[in-house]
Chains A and B, each alone.
Chain A
Amino acid sequence: MKRRINVKYLSRVEGEGALIIEIRNNEVEKVDLRIFEAPRFFEPILKGRPFQDVIDFTARICGICPVAYQMSAVHAIEAAMGVSVPQPVHDLRRLMYCGEWIESHALHVHFLHGPDFFGMESAWSDRDYGHIAQRGMKLKGLGNEILALLGGRPVHPLSVRPGGFFRWPEKKELYQLLPDLEKGFDLSLECISWAVSLFEGEEEIKDTGDFMVSLHNPDSYAMNTGTVCTSEGITYSMGEFTKVIEEYQVPHSNALHTGIKTGPTPRPYMVGPLSRINMSFTSLPEKVKSTVQQGGISLPLVDIRMSIIARCIEISYALHEAINIIQGYDGIAAYVHVEPKEGKGLWITEAPRGMLIHSYEFDRKGNVVTARIIPPTSQNLAHIEKSLRNYIESNHHLSTKALRRGCEDIIRSYDPCISCSVHLIDLTEGKS
């Protein structure tokens, strides 16, 4: 008997994708996550452009996580130019990233993923969900406020530049955010308990997320710095990691797939909030940890659907961290002038959806010679297909309709950003 699941247009994800699954006699024959989002060719567009354009252009790869692009880009540029920036610049960048994590996660948790747990088609299709949607808006608004203050606007902020920022905020402006952020932090703890309660009485889907990778720091939750760690305990420097991964093209997708080179075929791995939580849970603040533990959740989290819990934890963490950074802010402007020069630079930061890899080569005027960008979603694609395969193999007794729903739920759990994933790719001469 042959069954076919065909989702022509995946909804509640960013960008355009479709899903085709074929099952014959309870054997999965085909799992194709088709990415038909139109490519925009960012790498060739960047060629010959000055370094500031790299920050402004790559932000346009994704309207949901522009700060992530700006962060990976600015660090890679500074690495190439051999510049290190003072601590206050690092702090403000981290604050900006907190803003984006809050904004992006609050959107995903409440508007894109949340409705799945209530069998709803959207966050506004049921009045009973209204207060949850309201909470999402409130939290999302806090993230946007941080971004607007530091970057001028939440989508495609304009303040980031190599060496620092175009404008240095006044102490007073940042302090004004504190009361709302503190209220937001309490709200985010509620959010964690709510997310945990979604799984009460639910059977855990095992083995949907197994091989995880994230940045890790010994003393802080990793955002802009760290070493790359796998759930099997292997550690790489950022540079080493980009050498052990392989990108490959598959016929059904405009986005390249990525895997770690281990055997004859690259091994799929997972990046994102679930990987980060499992790797860095101990560096979370006590209040956040105890809220999670009270819910009876034990680590590691392996059910990919539980990434909604991980996102709520990270909203909470980001609010807590934002408050800390603002309280320690002295308002004294810091900026290092960056002189354009020849060089190569590579950096990885933790975008809301996972590790975002940028690597550039500049000529002596500081213009781009080569660019390579590997977004989190293209790193996840092969792993998503693997998760789907595992899920169907252990649930083939379900009706086609139920399977379809389960598959869509798994895909959404990864928070795939399809518009990002098709704009990766390589301009290095060896490959082109």
Chain B
Amino acid sequence: MKKPRLGIFKLTSCDGCQLSILNLEEELLRVVELFSLSFFPVASDKELSGYFDLALIEGSISEPRQREEVISVRERSRYLITIGACATSGGLQALKNWAVLESFKKSVYPDPALIESLSTSTPVSDHVYVDFEIWGCPVTGDALSETLACFLLDKRPTIPQYSLCMECKRKAIPCILVSEGEPCLGPITRAGCGALCPSFSRACYGCFGPRDDANIDSLMRWFEKSGYSGTERQRLLDTMNTYAYRRVQIEKKD
């Protein structure tokens, strides 16, 4: 059987999700055997050409050239899957969506005119059809290998859509929201990391983005009662998945 052609693309991002692919270690060497790794510039000189059976995209769209790039990747690919918070929800850099771009540019570059940047950072799904999304900042190795294995078996990956609280309960971690009054985003956040922060006695800060049907307002009312100001509450949501959390808030209001 011909090996499926796999392409791994990068837009605006930190390379951490691509590194999570390289961190698969032993499994990576299996991936290299089972797929024809046809485009992966961070690890190989092979140039972009032809079509892909599966494209993985890391990074958000924050520059004009990337809009064309992502359309070209879509046209070349049978399946397109986004990996990580940037590609799936715009990333931390989407905080510029709620600011004035010119002032951002001026605060960073002595000559802002040389910098070509869109006023927004948006997920890939705002631009082209996406077949499947893997959330997380960064994505986990388990989610990546599950997705790649499912692709080979022609089956939809089973990646949890429920809240992080389920993982805490399963691991018998005492609820730090209830017992410590910590502003934990667990109830509105997608499971998948293995409840890492709560297991470090730390409140979840939302690396995996909003779970399906997240009731953000209810959690925010809880935080309000615990004494968190409006600015503080908004800051909790405005991190790597700011665009996704804010979107859920707006959609609920409609």
Contact = CB atoms under 8 A, between A and B. Distances in A.
B190 interface: no
B200 A167 contact: yes
A137 B201 contact: no
B45 A121 contact: yes
Contact of A140 (B12, B25, B40): B25
A43 interface: yes
A166 B37 CA distance: 39
Interface in B26-48: 26, 28-29, 32, 37, 40-47
Q: By CB atoms of chain A within 10 A, which of B16, B91, B115 has the most?
A: B16
A166 B18 CA distance: 27
Q: By CB atoms of chain A within 10 A, which of B20, B23, B105 has the most?
A: B23
Interface stretch (B92-100, B124-132, B161-169): B92-100
Contacts of A44: 96, 99, 103-104, 107-108
* Interface bracket on B: 35 or more
Given A16-B10, A56-B205, A60-B92, A38 B66 contact: yes
B62 A40 contact: yes
B16 A64 contact: yes
A44 B140 CA distance: 29
A45 interface: yes
Contact of B42 (A11, A251, A256): A11
A57 interface: yes
B95 to A, nearest CB: 5
B14 A43 contact: no
Interface string B42-64: 11111100000000000000110
Contact of A41 (B41, B96, B201): B96
A13 B23 CA distance: 16
Interface stretch (A88-96, A149-157, A223-231, A232-240): A149-157
B43 A122 contact: yes
* Interface bracket on A: 35 or more
A38 B117 contact: yes
B137 A62 contact: no
A63 B18 contact: yes
Contacts of A45: 92-93, 95-96
Given A40-B93, A63-B19, A122 B103 contact: no
B202 interface: yes
A68 B51 CA distance: 38
Interface stretch (A214-222, A317-325, A423-431): A423-431
Interface in B152-173: none
A45 B207 CA distance: 17
Q: By CB atoms of chain B within 10 A, which of A9, A66, A155 has the most?
A: A155
B20 A155 contact: yes
B213 interface: no
Contacts of A13: 42
A45 B121 CA distance: 13
B114 interface: yes
Given A107-B22, A156-B138, A432-B107, A121 B46 contact: yes
A53 B235 CA distance: 10
A64 B200 contact: no
A393 to B, nearest CB: 26
A419 interface: yes
Contact of B108 (A39, A60, A137): A39
Interface string A12-44: 111110000000000000000000011111011
B145 interface: no
A254 to B, nearest CB: 6
Interface string A36-78: 0111110111000110010011001111101000000000000
Interface of B: 10-20, 22-23, 25-26, 28-29, 32, 37, 40-47, 62-63, 66, 91-93, 95-96, 99, 103-111, 114-115, 117, 121, 137-138, 140, 193, 196-197, 199-202, 205, 207, 235, 239-240
5 closest cross-chain pairs (CB), A and B: A63-B16, A122-B44, A121-B45, A40-B93, A167-B200
Given A64-B19, A124-B37, 19 more contacts: A12-B42, A13-B42, A16-B10, A41-B104, A41-B108, A44-B107, A56-B239, A63-B17, A111-B22, A121-B46, A122-B40, A124-B44, A134-B29, A140-B23, A140-B25, A153-B140, A155-B17, A159-B200, A251-B114
